Copies of this chain bind each other. A is one copy, B any other.
């Protein structure tokens, strides 16, 4: 009943509005998602790095018990690098540099237990690479995918193929509007359902998330109010991983992965995303205890139920 997390593993340089520069940080969509999922489930990481990837970064996966057998290293290759700058309100950011480097050589070769995960997470990467992962899995179980504005713009056909093959699609509010060309978020969320997934989660950052299911099912999930926001990089990926881990755990406990289970898993993703924002890179997630996760999950529940 493991979670397979495929996506990018990279090295980030972050600039924040208050002038802080942090370089050489562990980043990437699969990094955040895998570490977040590891609080609820055994995790197999599937990604590609160059041989410049620091051992110290690798140790962060090991410390969380994450299997890196599926982490391909390209000899002589350079790891994916991204530099981003946050604006004053921390809700918007600008990409200053992207070097995709070895991402072009992503060639997953899954074996053994990796091929039958309970939950497959296709974290943000080229939709064509997400399809490569799906093609390697014998029994797909429950599949969750994320994407980004870039792929909506330049790889829409591949993304539509991904949508036809996943159970749950997670997208942020601006991407949902862009993808559907529909300003109303509720209409946009419902439209995305028509492309294949049985559940769509629209993330709204600090405003929480909306969950759309077939037959008009709808749920509004509160965000955890992060007062000390240090770096939101990876929050969406941590949300995705936390959500997937919780789904795998619900399956282990005999539950399904229907609308209600996804909604409960969204709350768990919200908790992991909130911790993630409290530090640079995976610093907070890597230092997090299961007790802290449980306490914040209880606190979050108390915010929305009277």
- A residues within 8 Å of B by Cβ? 88-90, 177, 183-187, 204, 206-208, 210, 218-223, 225-227, 229, 260, 263-264, 303-306
Contacts and interface: CB of A to CB of B under 8 A. Distances in A.
B220 A225 contact: yes
Contact of A89 (B90, B183, B218): B183
Number of copies: 2
Contact of A304 (B88, B89, B222, B264): B222
A245 to B, nearest CB: 18
Contacts of A177: 89
Among A177, A183, A187, the most chain B Cβ lie within 10 Å of the Cβ of A183
Nearest to A207: B207
Contacts of A264: 306
23 contacts: A88-B183, A90-B184, A184-B227, A184-B229, A185-B225, A186-B225, A186-B226, A204-B207, A207-B208, A208-B208, A210-B225, A218-B225, A218-B303, A219-B303, A220-B222, A220-B223, A220-B225, A220-B303, A222-B222, A264-B306, A304-B304, A304-B305, A305-B305
B219 A304 contact: yes
Contacts of A208: 207-208, 220, 222
A185 B206 CA distance: 9
A227 B306 CA distance: 26
Nearest to A190: B227
Please provide the 10 A-B residue pairs with the shortest distance between their CB atoms, ordered closest to farther.
A220-B222, A207-B207, A186-B225, A89-B183, A220-B303, A186-B227, A304-B304, A263-B306, A220-B304, A219-B303
A301 to B, nearest CB: 9
Contacts of A89: 177, 183
A185 B186 CA distance: 24
Contacts of A187: 227
A209 to B, nearest CB: 10
A168 to B, nearest CB: 16
Nearest to A186: B225
Given A204-B207, A221-B304, 4 more contacts: A90-B183, A186-B226, A186-B227, A222-B222
Nearest to A305: B305
Contacts of A225: 185-186, 210, 218, 220
A285 to B, nearest CB: 21
Contacts of A206: 185
Nearest to A259: B306
Contacts of A227: 184, 186-187
A228 to B, nearest CB: 8
A226 B230 CA distance: 33
Contacts of A207: 204, 207-208
